[in-house]
């Protein structure tokens, strides 16, 4: 059980990094903005699915927090790219992220009740770990605009909070 979850987390992390590394050179600011925004949209979609399916008060509250926070961060990101006149640019990492997320939504869509809750929260832990790792090791170091770097750093702290929050919810579900 432990191994399944761990390997899922590692797979998620390596997917993120290998997709970014596949491009060879470090991602550009327009690509970074696109990746960060996509990562937020993915988590909002997952949360909306959870809001439709869960009956757990705690899971529901967590999903509502995810929608609220990721929408706030993405709004800030949109305001910033507008201000900087940067056009977010689609790229392999964004595409891989979206493809994996669509698969995960379909997989979770088949589950019900406690099985769904557990799978959703476990995936939230793994997903935030993967995104935090990508932000820390690739996106933040690669960002050249200081305001973009700053927003990514704030985002990282918020998402680290989500990671811990998800871990707490996961522990309570046991």
Contact residues: another protein, CB under 8 A: 65, 68-69, 72-73, 75-76, 153-154, 157-158, 160-162, 164-165, 168
CB 155 within 8 A of CB 135: yes
> Could you tell me which of 18, 33, 5 has the C-alpha nearest to residue 133?
18
Cα–Cα nearest to 148, from 88, 66, 69: 88
Asked if residue 126 lies in contact with residue 15, where contact means CB atoms within 8 angstroms, the answer is no
Shortest distance, position 60 Cβ to another protein, whole Å: 14
Report the sign of the C-alpha dihedral through residues 38, 40, 43, 44, in that order: negative
Find the shortest distance in angstroms from Cβ 166 to another protein: 10
Quickly tell me which residue has 């600011």 as its tokens.
29
Q: How far is the CB of 38 from another protein (least distance, A)?
A: 19
Instruction: Give the distance from CA 115 to its chain's centroid.
Output: 21
The least distance separating another protein from the CB of residue 105, rounded to whole angstroms, comes to 24
**Closest to another protein by CB, 53 or 162:** 162
Which residues have C-beta within 8 Å of that of residue 156, sequence separation ≥ 6? 132, 135, 136, 140
CB 106, min distance to another protein, A: 29
């Amino acid at each position: 059980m432990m191994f399944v979850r761990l390997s899922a987390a590692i797979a998620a992390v390596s997917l993120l990094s290998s997709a970014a590394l596949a491009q060879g050179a470090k991602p550009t600011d327009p690509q970074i903005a696109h990746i960060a925004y996509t990562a937020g949209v993915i988590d909002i979609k997952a949360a909306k699915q959870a809001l439709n399916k869960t009956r757990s008060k705690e899971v529901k509250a967590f999903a509502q927090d995810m929608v609220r926070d990721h929408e706030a961060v993405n709004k800030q990101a949109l305001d910033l790219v507008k201000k900087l006149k940067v056009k977010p640019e689609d790229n392999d990492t964004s595409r891989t992220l979206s493809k994996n997320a669509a698969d995960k939504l379909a997989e979770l869509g088949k589950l019900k009740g406690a099985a769904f809750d557990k799978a959703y929260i476990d995936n939230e832990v793994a997903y935030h770990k993967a995104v935090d790792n990508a932000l820390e090791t690739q996106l933040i170091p690669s960002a050249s605009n200081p305001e973009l770097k700053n927003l990514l750093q704030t985002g990282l702290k918020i998402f680290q909070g989500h990671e811990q929050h998800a871990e707490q919810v996961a522990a309570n579900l046991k």
